[in-house]
Chain A
């Protein structure tokens, strides 16, 4: 007879789950409200989403219990808190972008906002566990939600994007399952902490198998992080979704994936495993460079930003490779500052969304369509230019300080060549970031069939959108004053979790 298992409820430490539960309950609440009354406006759902996310954020901040919970599956350490805070704050900012003037198909469905909350909960699970199975569950929760959200935008290109994203994503999921399986086969556990202990104790015997597992993991996480050569879905998916959602895709899911990468590769970086380190080195360098080189030839700003986000992901991977405390702080600093500028840039595309172009299917975000914008709306052009310069890493705007800190971290860890690669890549990136500026400021509007291409400026803007963008303009310009508090905040959480 099997003995009854007695579990003390208190030992479950159920509070570790509280933040995610808020998001999930919120999602269900939104669905229930929709059942009761079908004719509610999207603004209600947007604000409800914001509210639930804020409560969620409060839960994350308010948590001060034990690190472990729920049969040791949950692990709410400093990195987890930091990542959850970043995910939540940015999710709030992005969902506010849904206050658009144009009516979009997906915003008519409350399910969209429910899925948004599910995705956020998934990210929170991903970052709050070191069990490969729990990470897998979180990864899938968020991915499934996002596949659906991409598909809800009813345009021709969207179907291609959604299918491409789904198939590639499914493959990555398979890779992840295989990788986890191999590590379970070698070590008999799925908890990364114990995996690490056993591998180190056994001095990595079965090394071939370990490397195979690492390869699968690189494939799976590389897909999520859009590292070269697992990046091919990125431009198409971004192109197929709205600018607001593409901005979200470029930023938020990657935070969660970075944390997983950080936790996983920490095993090999702290053990000074040369093969894995070199593989990461090469992937980081190639991702940075290829992302930039491919962005050079783009004429569509959204695709250009997609390729550039690949390159930025390469920067962060480089920081993970460096592996010092400073580099880990740098990841969060860089990504937050990058998110500010990137949200701004995608936000500007979103403000100028051309509905007719989007329906008739021709390219709507080409650099040509922004030609001569300065004559029509100097303020729009100036703000857009500022966000682009910020992304290019021109001081004193936000991304520069992130780059500065990461290159500094590389130099301090004696990765001089990596630092030079990062620096030179910023130089390459400058070219494609200034291309739209050249069109906006120095060229005359291009006319096709007697009609100016960008006849519609700020067609999608509402006061709410303008205020969100305004806040990000201020954050970008004044980012030098953000750096010190951000570093202090991040270093507190990074240090208590021992990275």
Chain B
């Protein structure tokens, strides 16, 4: 059990490398087996995870560039644990539901490499190694979108690559600077996150570093002015690419905010609460409206992702246990729900080779099972109570209510806007008469697609009704995070503010 995290990280890569030997007709079974083993491994990790310990567990340490303080250092806590499980789950599910025919072997091996980088990003505790995997994850995605994508695939994939690559480079300068500050303060080099957590930074420096990290994370999330790559990448990516992009890659950005920005720059985080919230609000409201105007089902879901990521950012910058815990939960639920929605669009695309809403209508008559599953996922996306989407959204907004009731009410519009564009899309494509003769004989979801989708439906309901099994460990680690922020803050106003924000439900003395 000591090396379980390393096994989790490198098992998919090893399997992918060996996978070149497997014949291309049998690669699907191979890839599903590998991801299933990986998923089971992540469940084993959850089982052996001590939910009462808020700190890092299963840590490993191996110096790589000792003279410059760079080491391979991994660990898992309540924040990263479920993101890892979600990653392994969604990779497995997307393999099961995969219907792609072209160059299947290349695709599956690429996705396995991608899985390695995604899991590593969530588990690595050394800033430089984190950055390495963060950047490396672009390469498989670049290939997936570019090689299996739609008409504009090359434009979209280059845009995706350059956008995220450039943003991260600015973050790299920030990381190097932080490492240097650590060296100046302590006399030893270290890029280890847990060492950095002990560092108190002056306020001005925090502002600059926050901005540098912001570029890396905000482009990935994506936050409002930097979101333009996402609709292209999503719109052009093959189904499996969209699923993984929406479910996992976007979460890397918000995870970065929680893992790096908040605990390292507490004063700056408090200082930037309103600007960040404003950007998040613009994203929520503006992209919801844009989503309403889309004619392509996939674009609707892509823009709804941007909108939901806004809520996650809002929850994160509520800077209290409810908000951050809620935003982490929302990351998980958005991963499952948007992943499922993209797969559902993939199902209909395979049958009709179009994603345009106007080509459909009355699908519920021909494909009742499909319509039901789509309906459930849609409700979860909108945030209907007792579905998984509600819990995270509610907690995020509850957390931010403490910061600013007015902004929270505006953000609450997301639930209404979300309902509008989602339900309108649903109405146009599923209800009404089935006029288009091409739609009359469509086959309902079957076999492999059902196997992939049913577990997700189950999770949506299960976690919507009983979220506590996940919220428990998250809560512990987030409380710990808030404590780190509180001790590290340099200005007394920040300390007071953090305490004040974290007083939901406490009896006033």
- Point out residues on A near B: beta carbons under 8 Å: 378, 389, 394-396, 400, 404-405, 407-408, 411-412, 416, 419-420, 423-424, 426-427, 430-431, 434, 438, 441-443, 480-481, 483-484, 487-488, 491
B173, CB-defined interface residue at 8 Å: yes
Complex CA–CA separation, A443 to B162 (angstroms):
19
Contact between A396 and B132 (Cβ–Cβ < 8 Å)? Answer: yes
Contact between A411 and B173 (Cβ–Cβ < 8 Å)? Answer: yes
Residue of A with least CB distance to B161: A434
Contact between B67 and A487 (Cβ–Cβ < 8 Å)? Answer: yes
Residue of A407, A411, A416 with most partner-chain B CB within 10 A: A411
As a 0/1 sequence over residues 167 to 183 of chain B, the CB contacts with chain A under 8 angstroms (1 = contact) are: 00110110011011001
B367, CB-defined interface residue at 8 Å: no
A-B pairs with beta carbons under 8 Å apart, 19 shown: A389-B139, A394-B136, A394-B138, A404-B128, A408-B180, A411-B173, A411-B176, A411-B177, A412-B180, A416-B177, A419-B177, A423-B170, A427-B165, A430-B165, A430-B166, A434-B142, A442-B147, A480-B65, A483-B65
Min C-beta distance of A375 to chain B, whole Å: 9
Contact between B68 and A395 (Cβ–Cβ < 8 Å)? Answer: no
Complex CA–CA separation, A65 to B162 (angstroms):
52
- Point out residues on B near A: beta carbons under 8 Å: 64-68, 106, 128, 131-132, 135-136, 138-139, 142-143, 146-147, 153-154, 157-158, 161-162, 165-166, 169-170, 172-173, 176-177, 179-180, 183
In order of increasing CB-CB distance, the 3 nearest A-B pairs are A427-B166, A395-B132, A423-B169
Residue of A389, A395, A484 with most partner-chain B CB within 10 A: A395
Contact between A395 and B131 (Cβ–Cβ < 8 Å)? Answer: yes
Min C-beta distance of B52 to chain A, whole Å: 36
Contact between A424 and B169 (Cβ–Cβ < 8 Å)? Answer: yes
Complex CA–CA separation, A395 to B172 (angstroms):
11
Residues of chain B with a CB closer than 8 A to A408's CB: 68, 176, 179-180
Complex CA–CA separation, A378 to B106 (angstroms):
10
CB contacts between A and B, total, < 8 Å: 89
Known: A407-B172, A416-B177, A423-B173. A394 touches B139 (CB 8 A): yes
Complex CA–CA separation, A485 to B423 (angstroms):
61
Min C-beta distance of A291 to chain B, whole Å: 17
Contact between B136 and A396 (Cβ–Cβ < 8 Å)? Answer: yes
Min C-beta distance of B28 to chain A, whole Å: 19
Contact between A395 and B169 (Cβ–Cβ < 8 Å)? Answer: no
Residues of chain B with a CB closer than 8 A to A423's CB: 169-170, 172-173
Contact between B135 and A394 (Cβ–Cβ < 8 Å)? Answer: yes
Complex CA–CA separation, A97 to B147 (angstroms):
33
Residues of chain B with a CB closer than 8 A to A420's CB: 170, 173
Min C-beta distance of B439 to chain A, whole Å: 32
Min C-beta distance of A87 to chain B, whole Å: 25
Contact between B132 and A484 (Cβ–Cβ < 8 Å)? Answer: no
Residues of chain A with a CB closer than 8 A to B161's CB: 430, 434
Contact between A427 and B169 (Cβ–Cβ < 8 Å)? Answer: yes
Residues of chain B with a CB closer than 8 A to A438's CB: 146, 154, 157-158
Residue of B with least CB distance to A426: B169
Residues of chain B with a CB closer than 8 A to A441's CB: 143, 146-147
Residues of chain A with a CB closer than 8 A to B172's CB: 404, 407, 423
Min C-beta distance of B77 to chain A, whole Å: 24
Contact between B146 and A484 (Cβ–Cβ < 8 Å)? Answer: no
Min C-beta distance of A410 to chain B, whole Å: 8
Contact between A442 and B146 (Cβ–Cβ < 8 Å)? Answer: yes
Residues of chain A with a CB closer than 8 A to B165's CB: 394, 427, 430
Residues of chain B with a CB closer than 8 A to A481's CB: 64
Complex CA–CA separation, A408 to B180 (angstroms):
8
Known: A427-B162, A434-B158. A419 touches B173 (CB 8 A): yes
Contact between B180 and A487 (Cβ–Cβ < 8 Å)? Answer: no
Complex CA–CA separation, A411 to B208 (angstroms):
13
Complex CA–CA separation, A442 to B143 (angstroms):
8
Residue of A with least CB distance to B183: A412
Contact between A411 and B180 (Cβ–Cβ < 8 Å)? Answer: yes
Known: A426-B169, A441-B143, A487-B67. A419 touches B176 (CB 8 A): yes
Residues of chain B with a CB closer than 8 A to A424's CB: 166, 169-170
Residues of chain A with a CB closer than 8 A to B166's CB: 424, 427, 430
Contact between A484 and B64 (Cβ–Cβ < 8 Å)? Answer: yes
Complex CA–CA separation, A405 to B132 (angstroms):
14
| Extra pairs beyond A411-B177, A420-B170, A480-B132 (15, CB < 8 Å) | A389-B139, A395-B132, A395-B135, A405-B68, A408-B176, A416-B173, A423-B170, A423-B172, A434-B158, A438-B146, A438-B154, A438-B158, A441-B146, A442-B153, A487-B65
Min C-beta distance of B362 to chain A, whole Å: 37
Residue of A with least CB distance to B208: A416
Contact between A407 and B173 (Cβ–Cβ < 8 Å)? Answer: yes
Min C-beta distance of B372 to chain A, whole Å: 38
Complex CA–CA separation, A426 to B161 (angstroms):
13
Residues of chain A with a CB closer than 8 A to B157's CB: 438, 442
Complex CA–CA separation, A375 to B65 (angstroms):
38
Residue of B67, B135, B138, B176 with most partner-chain A CB within 10 A: B176
Complex CA–CA separation, A396 to B124 (angstroms):
14
Complex CA–CA separation, A407 to B171 (angstroms):
12
Residues of chain A with a CB closer than 8 A to B131's CB: 395
Min C-beta distance of B334 to chain A, whole Å: 28
Residues of chain B with a CB closer than 8 A to A430's CB: 161-162, 165-166
Contact between B180 and A484 (Cβ–Cβ < 8 Å)? Answer: no
Residues of chain B with a CB closer than 8 A to A394's CB: 135-136, 138-139, 165
Residues of chain B with a CB closer than 8 A to A404's CB: 128, 172, 176
Contact between B67 and A484 (Cβ–Cβ < 8 Å)? Answer: yes
Complex CA–CA separation, A370 to B177 (angstroms):
40
Complex CA–CA separation, A407 to B131 (angstroms):
14
Known: A411-B176, A411-B177, A420-B170. A480 touches B146 (CB 8 A): no
Residues of chain A with a CB closer than 8 A to B179's CB: 408
Min C-beta distance of A37 to chain B, whole Å: 48
Contact between B67 and A488 (Cβ–Cβ < 8 Å)? Answer: yes
Residues of chain B with a CB closer than 8 A to A411's CB: 173, 176-177, 180
